[in-house]
Amino acid sequence: MEHHSKKILSRSAFAGRMMIWLSITLILMMISLIFGMWGYHHFEHMTWLDALLNAAMILGGMGEIDALKTFGGKIFASFYAIYSSIFLIMCAGVLLVPIFHRVLHRFHADN
């Protein structure tokens, strides 16, 4: 991020910076989704498709689709849900902070 005494980035440079952060966020989301799929497949013995659906719903903050049957599955789902909530907030922050910084920088540049 640029210092407030420097000029504001051009729109194309800012869009490039946002694409980098969006790419990093999407990669981290895919890793989290794969981890969730593995957990549901391993602990609840779900098919990979059902594991994908449940992991995606939890990661997106919507909730589970299938009822959990095993002790290990319930423990995994509990920790995965807590992780997913924190992760979702972190992803939103990573994507919104550069936008807020640009807006604040623009207000400061006008002075």
pLDDT band at 89 (very low <50, low <70, confident <90, very high): very high
Q: How far is CA 95 from CA 12, 20, 46, 100, in A?
A: 17, 10, 33, 10
Q: Which CATH architecture has domain 18-110?
A: Orthogonal Bundle (1.10)
Mean pLDDT across 20-30: 95
Identify which of 59, 61, 39 has the alpha carbon closest to the alpha carbon of residue 48.
39
Residue 87: what pLDDT? Answer: 95
Burial 37-57 (b: 16+ CB within 10 A, else e): bebbbebbebeeebbbbbbeb
pLDDT band at 61 (very low <50, low <70, confident <90, very high): confident
Q: Considering the chain, what is the average pLDDT of its residues?
A: 90
pLDDT at 5 over 70: no
